[in-house]
Amino acid sequence: MAQYFKDVWLGTATTFHSMWVTLRHFFRPNNGYTLQYPTQKATLPERSRMRLFNKIEDCIGCGQCARVCPTDCIDIQTEKRGKDEPAIFASDGTAIKLRTFVFDIDMTLCCYCALCTFPCPTHCLVMTPEYEYSVYDKRDHIYHYAVDRPMAAKPAAKEPEAPKA
Ligand code: SF4
Ligand code: SF4
């Protein structure tokens, strides 16, 4: 019987205590933890890991990012650039010898570990502080970065016309 009244007392006391804590905060000004989103935005810590971005112009198609990804969310397809094609370079001077015609990142599979960004030799794959990228269609979370096409899909170069006599 004594235990019963002890439990009732404990339950009542803790209820009033938690209500007292709530009441105290009710009349205090904004404590800095509650944000009026979206008019107020959170200041993220340095090196926050959010949306990935690939500066495709600097990507050499080495595939190191895809190999290290634990969730297999990076899909890269490349082919060798022809010897007769003009030499191109990433902004750090690395020669681009492969044509990257598929570079997709499926952000629905990404676990934001950032492992893919570390081995990138040209530092073109980075995690940005961008965290507002919700979409209505899940397919919109697959980012297609490649802008080039495979050689076979390109229209054949026209034969130069013979000069008229
Ligand atoms: S952050 Fe991690 S899971 Fe996401 S693409 Fe990079 S390696 Fe893969
Ligand atoms: S590691 Fe960097 S350069 Fe290599 S394929 Fe990935 S994004 Fe491109």
List alpha helices for 30-135, DSSP H. 64-68
pLDDT at 108: 96
Instruction: Please state which of the ranges 38-42, 108-112, 131-135 shows the lowest mean pLDDT.
Output: 38-42
Residue located nearest, by CA, to atom 8 of ligand 2: 59
Mutate to test the pocket of ligand 1, among 109, 111, 133 (most ligand atoms within 8 A of CB): 111
| pTM recorded for the entire structure | 0.76
pLDDT higher for 149 or 73? 73
pLDDT at 59: 97
Q: Which amino acid makes up residue 94?
A: T
CA–centroid distance, 103 to ligand 1, in Å, is 14
Tell me, what's the pLDDT at 47?
Answer: 86
CATH of domain 52-149: 3.30.70.3270
> Residues lining ligand 2, judged by CB closer than 6 Å?
54, 59-65, 76, 119-122, 124-125
**Which secondary structure element, helix H or strand E, spans residue 77, and what is its range?**
strand 74-80
Ligand nearest the Cα atom of residue 54? 2
- Cα angle 69, 71, 74; round to 5: 60
Domain ranges for the chain, please list them.
52-149
Q: What is the DSSP letter of 95?
A: B
- 9 phi/psi in degrees, rounded to 5: -65, -45
- Banded pLDDT at 157 (limits 50, 70, 90): low
% pLDDT > 90, the chain: 71
Q: What is the pLDDT of residue 160?
A: 63
149 has a pLDDT exceeding 90? no
Amino acid at 28: R
Distances (CA, A) of 152 to 23, 43, 97, 138: 71, 47, 17, 31
Closest CA to 149 of 99, 104, 103, 101: 101
